Amino acid sequence: MSLSTQPYKGARDFYPEDKRLQKYMFRIMRESVEQMGYEEYDAPILESLDLYLAKTGEEIVNEQTYAFEDRGGRRVAIRPEMTPTVSRMVASKRQELAYPLRWYSIPNLWRYERPQRGRLREHWQLNVDLFGLSGLRAEAEIIQVADTILKKFGATHDMYEVKLNSRKLMDYIMGAYLGLNVTQAHTLAKLIDRMRKMPPEEFEAEAESIFSHGQREEGMHIKLKGLLKIKNIGHLPEALRNHAAAKELQGLLDTLYDNGITNAVFDITLMRGFDYYTDVIFEVFDKHPENNRSMFGGGRYDGLVGLFGVEPVPTVGFGMGDVTLQNFLEGHDLLPTLRSETDVYVILIGDVYGKAQRVIRELRAMGLNVAVDLTDRKPDKQIKTATKKDIHYALFIGEKELEEELYTLRNLHSGVEEKHSASRIVSIAKDYRGEDDDL
RNA sequence: GCGGAUGUAGCUCAGCUGGUUAGAGCGCUGGAUUGUGGCUCCGGAGGCCGUGGGUUCGAACCCCAUCAUUCGCCCCA
């Protein structure tokens, strides 16, 4: 029985070409959010399990969290999400931070569950949060951040859609408007959440069964059925349309539209799983016909920081997972071809290993990333190796080159080969690298 | 936790209703007079047919179990 070479279930190995892609995605994310004034923070991957017991949906703690006891008998969890951690950090320095805070991180997160498309046990997630603002400007900005990132990846508005809803509005609908108690409302919310996955008749039957006899006699389930078809805040019944939460949501949509985010829509069926959201929630959907699914989302959660015994801090944020994002980018053919970080692959011709060192050192000192083959294989083999490594330039160094101090630089993609001085080679290779950055 | 699909070479797969030494393409590797790839030609390595058990004269193929991968459900950062 030999050892398995497979990575742990639901986790991934990042070979250099995979890591290259990840670095690209993280770079675009960082550039996008930093452009909007967000600063990066980080925290340990381990947290006290208590942190997750206090909040969150119950499921994620009981069944989906990696938890264990450390040698000192402490209950420890591998973080399944970043929001509790960042809330803890803000609470810890509640008094001394300069609000509003614009913070982001790209943590590695774990959840224990059956892996499936777009959902693994281990993933990386960009977390973007704006602390200390209670007005809608915060929501508008955070959605703008999400939009900026997707645009920076080359996505256009026909590729995705931002769906918006409001927990406050839904609470009002469930309670005052439909007359449901808390338990009924919760059951109905979960049902609406998976409405798209079930046949309409089945949904209707289940929805109807949530209502009591009396409520049914009043026709509440009919009212609900009508409501769920509404695609526009303006089409809501007057009692709802004039509710503050509805007006705010409309105001947010208008602001977004004015800021060029024309693919944001109201969606009364949008729920999101976590209980900690308090007001506006949003979710970005992939519109690709074969991958029509939720990509990521977020919303307002004003209560979390306060759980640590300090004055609450109003907060809006979202999390964007690397797996779903990659599916999106692949689906829309938005991933660039990425080349090696190595600029030049040196191929030594003849017995010049010692004599070539000086110029190689020189190239590196001038800022090039230079790998030397070091084998004595024939040049054709060495070229193949360089190509396979996705290195753009091969540099031949032999007796002739060393004498002339002009080295043969070969573009491995075009096959064009020219002799240049060391400093010229540096500027050519750097130019090429620079083009890459502008993508 | 539940249901479906799939496990044959490094990869993608073929292998007819069970019948001798298990195949292809790609990849890998060596060569075509030791300073040049992606084309061509010739040679080579590489498989306990996921694992364990059963049926049979005989199993990659049939049956059971188990593990793994994958899609979906539950749930959803």
Q: Please give the span between the terminal C-alpha atoms of chain A, in angstroms, as a whole number.
A: 48
Q: What is the mean pLDDT of residues A414-430?
A: 94
- Asked if pLDDT for residue A288 goes beyond 90, the answer is no
Size of chain A in residues: 439
Q: What Å value separates CA A148 and C1' B41?
A: 54
- Asked if pLDDT for residue A414 goes beyond 90, the answer is no
- Asked if pLDDT for residue A59 goes beyond 60, the answer is no
Cis check: omega of the bond before A100, within 30 degrees of 0 = yes
- As ranges, strand B nucleotides with an atom below 7 A of a protein CB are 1-3, 28-31, 34-38, 68-77
pLDDT at A319: 93
Q: What Å value separates CA A26 and C1' B15?
A: 45
Per residue in A353-378, pLDDT (tens digit) is 999 999 999 999 999 999 999 888 88
Q: Does A222 or A274 have the greater pLDDT score?
A: A222
Instruction: Assess contact for A164 and A252: CB atoms under 8 A.
Output: yes
pLDDT at A2: 58
pLDDT at A108: 93
> Which nucleotide is nearest to A349 if distance is taken from CA to C1'?
B35
ipTM for the whole complex: 0.85
- Alpha-carbon distance of A338 to A437, in angstroms, equals 11
- Asked if pLDDT for residue A437 goes beyond 90, the answer is no
Q: Which of A246-250, A270-274, A332-336, A412-416 has the lowest mean pLDDT?
A: A270-274
Distance of CA A117 to the CA centre of its chain: 16
> Which nucleotide is nearest to A1 if distance is taken from CA to C1'?
B51
Q: What is the mean pLDDT of residues A31-49?
A: 95
- Asked if pLDDT for residue A14 goes beyond 50, the answer is yes
- Asked if pLDDT for residue A381 goes beyond 60, the answer is yes
- Asked if pLDDT for residue A438 goes beyond 50, the answer is no
Average pLDDT over chain A reads 89
Q: What Å value separates CA A425 and C1' B36?
A: 18
pTM for the full model? 0.91
3-state secondary structure of A177: helix
- Alpha-carbon distance of A155 to A332, in angstroms, equals 8
> Which nucleotide is nearest to A296 if distance is taken from CA to C1'?
B77
What letter represents residue A194's amino acid?
Answer: R
Quickly state the pLDDT bin for A207 (edges 50, 70, 90): confident
- Alpha-carbon distance of A117 to A323, in angstroms, equals 9
Quickly state the pLDDT bin for A67 (edges 50, 70, 90): confident
- Asked if pLDDT for residue A289 goes beyond 80, the answer is no
Quickly state the pLDDT bin for A60 (edges 50, 70, 90): low
Q: What Å value separates CA A63 and C1' B53?
A: 35
What backbone phi and psi angles, to 5 degrees, belong to A321?
A: -80, 145
Q: What Å value separates CA A12 and C1' B6?
A: 21
Quickly state the pLDDT bin for A97 (edges 50, 70, 90): very high
- Asked if pLDDT for residue A217 goes beyond 80, the answer is yes
> Which nucleotide is nearest to A386 if distance is taken from CA to C1'?
B37
Residues paired with A394 in a beta bridge: A345, A410
The DSSP secondary structure of A308-367, one letter per residue, reads: GTS----EEEEEEEHHHHHHHHHHTT-PPP---S--EEEEE-SS-HHHHHHHHHHHHHTT
> Which nucleotide is nearest to A411 if distance is taken from CA to C1'?
B37
Q: What Å value separates CA A315 and C1' B56?
A: 71
Kindly give the pairing relationship between strand A393-397 and strand A280-286: unpaired
Q: Which residue is nearest to nucleotide B2 (CA to C1')?
A: A114
Q: Does A115 or A436 have the greater pLDDT score?
A: A115
pLDDT at A55: 58
Per residue in A114-154, pLDDT (tens digit) is 888 888 899 999 999 999 999 899 999 999 999 999 999 99
The DSSP secondary structure of A182-199, one letter per residue, reads: HHHHHHHHHHHHTGGGS-
pLDDT at A62: 61
Q: What is the dihedral of CA A61, A64, A66, A72, to 10 degrees?
A: 20
Quickly state the pLDDT bin for A439 (edges 50, 70, 90): very low
Residue owning tokens 């509404």: A230
- Alpha-carbon distance of A256 to A274, in angstroms, equals 24
**CA angle, A190 then A195 then A200, to 5°:** 135
pLDDT at A327: 87
Quickly state the pLDDT bin for A435 (edges 50, 70, 90): low
